[in-house]
């Protein structure tokens, strides 16, 4: 056990006028299991890089341990997984130890370790690297967003595994994961970095209590300041009038009047002193209060009760079936969550709704009519169909769009005629250029689009930057803001909360719970799904 100490840390990126951190000081123990939370773009990953010595900074960071970053970047992805594990574990590598760790992660090590690393799923790679990195000696692990793209079951397994470890910082926006495995929380607030004992839920209770106290204290001080200002003005007027009166012709006792004037002036100064004190107290409040502005959404009522229907749908790639027998309906006001393990075909179901398929048997219909295949198309490109599909740009289609060679579907998918869909894809890598051009090309109301981004805590300074340089959370917010800025009958969201900060998640939950749009979505944040979904479809 030892202490990691951060003292007067100040850092800004080259060419930036804004400090990411300024005179930040705090301490934490190498045995703690720390959850690291904060709004997108507030410097969480930057801090992990500073701990690793990747950037120059002012102030001091002292530690007696080595810092190792997850995800660990290996060179040749085609190497055997056992070789990758040996590289990640360093001197601590022993095959039996790796197998023991993988068993704790509910994984068949004998199957995994002798396959090429690039053949593993995201979840399998996460488990292998975590197992290996925790074998390093004198090591403090910096774990950055380990569960993005992992299904709910895999997140629970990873959480329970981390609960049995010590000595790490975990950057995550998954509330359940933070509750399972952390015993301290580092929060990047609006004006400071704070360290508290407990998990996320206890941190949130403390924050809500503190915010409520400060709001009430601020309200009390505002009333007191208003009352004192009124009293100060009244006393000052009396003092001035009394002072002038002692020089009048008919004043019998100028000394008495002067004494009275002096007492009033002294009282006025005392009130001004109290005003100054209470104004100073007021400036100390609400510095870390997070705004949760109400978000807009442009729901359009569909003319029919039914929007979508899947009947006995199966999807396969290169002859391998990923899902079968998928049957459900989506009516007006339904919020349907697709749940299942990674690779079970959830995103494929969403792509079918968007018209992306190559080879098919059975029928795909819009309003019951057969759709004719017109060739390949990419998200964001124009397809022709009855109705409008939206993602940054309007997509129109009359037929299927390619999802890659070897894709095949059977069964019947019925999409309502003229259905307007606002789509948030899982992938953000295609985002580039500035927001103004993105809004123009997508026929978005630029003012509304940027207003939604601001409500999601998007800094105005970001508006003129290249989206390719945004953080993953900021890119996802761009897609969410575009979706919310469009007229839509149906919202199709594929893992919309990946990289999205906790405050923004709550904003989105509150919006969807109140406005109750029709939705089809995939999301592994169990708390979000429980609050929003009206129907669960297990794939």
Same-domain pairing of 155 and 269: no
Q: DSSP string of 447-482?
A: HHHHHHHHHTT--GGGTTS-GGGS-HHHHHHHHHHH
State how far Cα 27 lies from the chain centre.
Answer: 26
**Closest to 135 in 3D by CA, of 165, 158, 111:** 165
Residues 316 and 361: their CA atoms lie apart, in Å, by 12
Same-domain pairing of 332 and 474: yes
- So what's the pLDDT on residue 330? 97
Instruction: Find residue 335's DSSP bridge partners.
Output: 519
- The number of C-alpha atoms within 13 Å of 273 and in the hemisphere containing its C-beta is 6
Which of 206, 221, 247 is the last residue before a domain boundary?
206
Residues 177 and 159: their CA atoms lie apart, in Å, by 5
For residue 90, give the DSSP letter. Answer: G
Owner of token pair 């380990």: 146
Tokens representing residue 415 in the block: 């999409």
**Closest to 32 in 3D by CA, of 142, 175, 133, 183:** 183
Tokens representing residue 91 in the block: 């001197």
Which of 163, 184, 206 is the last residue before a domain boundary?
206
Same-domain pairing of 168 and 243: no
Tokens representing residue 3 in the block: 């202490």
Same-domain pairing of 264 and 365: no
Strands 193-197 and 388-391: unpaired
Same-domain pairing of 246 and 201: no
User: Domain of 333: which CATH number?
Assistant: 3.40.50.300
Give the residue numbers spanning the domain of 173: 3-206
Same-domain pairing of 110 and 214: no
Helix or strand holding residue 322 (H, E)? strand 320-331
Measured from the Cβ of residue 137, the count of other Cβ atoms closer than 10 Å reads 10
Same-domain pairing of 310 and 270: no
Instruction: Spell out where 119-266 has E strands.
Output: 139-144, 168-171, 184-188, 193-197
- How big is the chain by its Cα radius of gyration, in Å? 30
Q: Considering the domain boundaries, does residue 289 fall inside one?
A: no
Q: Which sign does the torsion angle of CA 401, 404, 405, 408 carry? A: negative
Same-domain pairing of 152 and 238: no
- The number of C-alpha atoms within 13 Å of 538 and in the hemisphere containing its C-beta is 3
Angle of CA points 466, 472, 475, to nearest 5°: 50
Q: What is the pLDDT of residues 285-337, one digit of tens each?
A: 545 545 667 899 999 999 999 999 999 999 988 788 889 999 999 999 999 99
- The number of C-alpha atoms within 13 Å of 438 and in the hemisphere containing its C-beta is 25
Confirm if 492 and 421 have CB atoms less than 8 A apart: yes
Helix or strand holding residue 22 (H, E)? strand 21-29
Strand order in the sheet with 535-538: 393-395, 388-391, 420-424, 490-494, 518-522, 335-339, 535-538
Strands 369-370 and 363-366: antiparallel
- So what's the pLDDT on residue 268? 65
Same-domain pairing of 215 and 194: no
Owner of token pair 């990946």: 498
Q: Considering the domain boundaries, does residue 300 fall inside one?
A: no
Which of 191, 206, 221 is the last residue before a domain boundary?
206
Q: Considering the domain boundaries, does residue 269 fall inside one?
A: yes
Same-domain pairing of 106 and 145: yes
Q: Considering the domain boundaries, does residue 59 fall inside one?
A: yes
Same-domain pairing of 169 and 214: no
Q: Considering the domain boundaries, does residue 425 fall inside one?
A: yes
Exposure pattern of 331-362 as b/e (b: 16+ CB <10 Å)? Answer: bbebbbbbbbbbbbbbbbbbbbbbbbbbebee
Burial of 108 (0-12, 13-18, 19+ CB in 10 A): exposed
Q: Considering the domain boundaries, does residue 490 fall inside one?
A: yes
Q: Considering the domain boundaries, does residue 288 fall inside one?
A: no
Same-domain pairing of 188 and 45: yes
Q: Name, in order, each residue with C-beta under 8 angstroms of 156's C-beta and a sequence gap of 6 or more.
A: 176, 180
**Total domains present in the chain:** 3
To the nearest 10°, report the CA torsion of 14, 17, 23, 26.
-70
Split the chain (539 residues) into runs of 10 and give each run's mean pLDDT. 92 84 93 93 90 95 95 87 93 93 91 90 89 93 89 91 95 93 91 89 89 76 72 65 56 54 67 65 54 86 95 88 93 96 88 67 42 30 32 32 61 93 93 94 94 91 90 93 97 93 90 96 92 95
State how far Cα 99 lies from the chain centre.
Answer: 34
State how far Cα 44 lies from the chain centre.
Answer: 12
Q: Considering the domain boundaries, does residue 299 fall inside one?
A: no
Q: Could you tell me the end-to-end alpha-carbon distance of the chain, in angstroms, rounded to an integer?
A: 46
Q: Name, in order, each residue with C-beta under 8 angstroms of 334's C-beta and a sequence gap of 6 or more.
A: 307, 518, 519, 534, 535
Instruction: Spell out where 204-276 has E strands.
Output: none
């Amino acid at each position: 056990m030892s202490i990691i100490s951060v003292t007067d840390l100040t850092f800004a990126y080259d060419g930036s006028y804004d400090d990411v951190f300024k005179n930040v000081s705090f301490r934490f123990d190498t045995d703690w299991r720390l959850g690291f939370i904060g709004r997108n773009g507030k410097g969480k990953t930057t801090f992990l890089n500073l701990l690793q010595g990747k950037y120059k900074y002012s102030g001091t960071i002292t530690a007696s341990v080595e810092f190792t970053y997850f995800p660990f970047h290996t060179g040749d992805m085609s190497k055997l997984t056992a070789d990758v594990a040996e590289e990640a574990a360093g001197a601590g590598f022993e095959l039996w130890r790796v197998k023991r760790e993988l068993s704790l992660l509910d994984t068949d090590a004998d199957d995994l370790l002798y396959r090429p690393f690039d053949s593993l799923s995201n979840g399998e790679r996460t488990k292998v690297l975590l197992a290996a990195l925790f074998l390093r000696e004198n090591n403090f692990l910096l774990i950055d967003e380990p569960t993005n793209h992992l299904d709910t079951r895999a997140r629970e397994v990873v959480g329970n595994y981390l609960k049995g470890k010590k000595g790490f910082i975990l950057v995550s926006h998954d509330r359940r994961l933070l509750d399972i495995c952390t015993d301290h929380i580092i929060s990047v607030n609006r004006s400071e970095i704070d360290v508290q004992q407990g998990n996320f839920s206890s941190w949130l209770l403390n924050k809500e209590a503190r915010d409520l106290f400060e709001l009430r204290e601020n309200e009390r001080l505002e009333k007191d300041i208003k009352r004192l200002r009124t009293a100060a003005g009244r006393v000052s007027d009396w003092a001035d009038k009394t002072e002038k009166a002692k020089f009048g012709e008919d004043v019998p006792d100028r000394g008495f009047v002067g004494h009275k004037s002096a007492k009033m002036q002294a009282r006025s100064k005392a009130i001004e002193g109290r005003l100054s004190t209470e104004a100073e107290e007021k400036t100390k409040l609400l510095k870390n209060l997070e705004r949760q502005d109400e978000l807009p959404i442009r729901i359009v009522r569909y003319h029919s009760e039914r929007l979508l229907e899947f009947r006995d749908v199966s999807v396969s790639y290169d002859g391998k079936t990923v899902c079968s027998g998928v049957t459900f309906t989506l009516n007006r006001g339904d919020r349907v969550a697709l749940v299942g393990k990674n690779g079970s075909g959830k995103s494929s179901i969403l792509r079918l709704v968007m018209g992306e398929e190559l080879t098919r048997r059975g029928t795909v219909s819009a309003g019951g009519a057969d759709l004719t295949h017109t060739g390949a198309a990419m998200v964001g490109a124009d397809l022709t169909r009855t109705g409008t599909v939206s993602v940054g740009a309007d997509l129109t289609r009359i037929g299927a769009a390619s999802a890659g060679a070897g894709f095949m579907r059977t069964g019947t998918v019925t999409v309502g005629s003229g259905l307007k869909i606002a789509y948030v894809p899982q992938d953000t890598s295609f985002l580039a250029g500035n927001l103004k051009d993105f809004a123009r090309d997508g026929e978005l109301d630029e003012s509304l689009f940027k207003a939604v981004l601001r409500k999601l805590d998007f800094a105005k300074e970001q508006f003129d930057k290249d989206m390719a340089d945004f953080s993953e959370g900021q890119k996802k917010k761009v897609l969410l803001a575009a979706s919310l800025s469009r007229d839509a009958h149906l919202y199709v969201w594929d893992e919309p909360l990946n990289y999205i900060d906790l405050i923004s998640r709550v904003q989105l939950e509150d919006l969807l719970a109140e406005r109750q749009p029709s939705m089809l979505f995939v999301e592994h944040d169990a708390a979000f799904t429980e609050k929003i979904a009206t129907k669960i479809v297990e794939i």
